[in-house]
């Protein structure tokens, strides 16, 4: 089983990635809850796809990825799934399919808030779209090429947090693949 190892408020914690998808964020129904104002309600998603685990970002403040292979300098910000062409197209297709059903029981739509990409009440719905995409191989492949990254043993990713929570202003997660065999050639 794969795990995340991280330090929060002076405590070392390990959490098994026991759900697919595995959600990290501030909202109470995430699989890993981070109560910090800089963490988005549904910040990051880890999901299993074709025998691998992948991470995608769904946040405002970003998720930063630093591969075990240090050939690149510094952590790189993952592209937001909200901006992914695959996500936008998939959401559009789902909306068209649901259109006929929604016509008969149409709810009054909430107004958009100027300056925000989306209305806050759409976040849970967007996460549901992402989860549905994972079940469609070609859509998931497009989503990953648009900014997702495959996790391998000892990859690190960072989520920004308030200075009062962590002096480095990030929470650092170490990905541990318990099936990793250090004696095997890669």
Query: Domains, the chain, ranges and CATH?
Result: 2-101+115-177 (2.60.200.20)
**In b/e form, how buried is each residue of 79-92, taking b as 16+ CB within 10 angstroms?**
bbbbebebbeebbe
CA distance from start to end of the chain: 19
**With left for phi above 0 and alpha for psi between -120 and 50, is residue 39 left, alpha or beta?**
beta
Instruction: Look at the pTM and tell me if it is higher than 0.75.
Output: yes
> What tokens appear for 170 in the block?
């990030």
What is the pLDDT, as a whole number, of residue 115?
45
Per residue of the chain (186 residues), what is the pLDDT tens digit? Answer: 899 999 887 889 999 999 989 999 999 999 999 988 889 889 999 988 888 899 999 888 889 988 766 565 567 888 887 777 777 887 787 777 766 555 544 444 544 444 444 444 567 778 888 888 888 888 888 888 777 888 999 999 999 887 555 556 788 899 999 887 665 544
> What tokens appear for 117 in the block?
């990409």
What is the pLDDT, as a whole number, of residue 5?
95
Task: Give the torsion sign (CA, 96, 62, 110, 26).
Answer: positive
What is the pLDDT, as a whole number, of residue 166?
54
What is the pLDDT, as a whole number, of residue 108?
47
């Amino acid at each position: 089983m794969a795990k995340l190892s991280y330090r929060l408020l002076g405590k070392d914690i390990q959490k098994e990635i026991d759900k697919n998808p595995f959600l990290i964020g501030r909202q109470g129904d995430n699989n890993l809850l981070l109560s910090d104002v800089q963490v988005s309600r549904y910040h990051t998603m880890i999901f299993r796809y074709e025998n691998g685990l992948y991470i995608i970002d769904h946040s405002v403040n970003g998720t930063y990825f630093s591969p075990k292979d240090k050939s690149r300098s510094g952590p790189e910000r993952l592209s937001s799934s909200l901006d992914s062409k695959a996500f936008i197209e998939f959401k559009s297709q789902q909306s068209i399919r649901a259109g006929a059903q929604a016509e008969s029981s149409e709810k009054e739509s909430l107004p958009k808030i100027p300056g925000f990409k989306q209305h806050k009440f759409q976040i849970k719905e967007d996460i549901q779209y992402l989860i549905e995409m994972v079940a469609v191989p070609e859509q998931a492949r497009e989503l990953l090429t648009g900014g997702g990254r495959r996790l391998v043993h000892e990859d690190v990713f960072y989520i920004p947090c308030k200075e009062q929570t962590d002096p480095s202003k990030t929470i650092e997660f170490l990905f541990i693949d318990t099936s990793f065999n250090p004696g095997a050639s890669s």
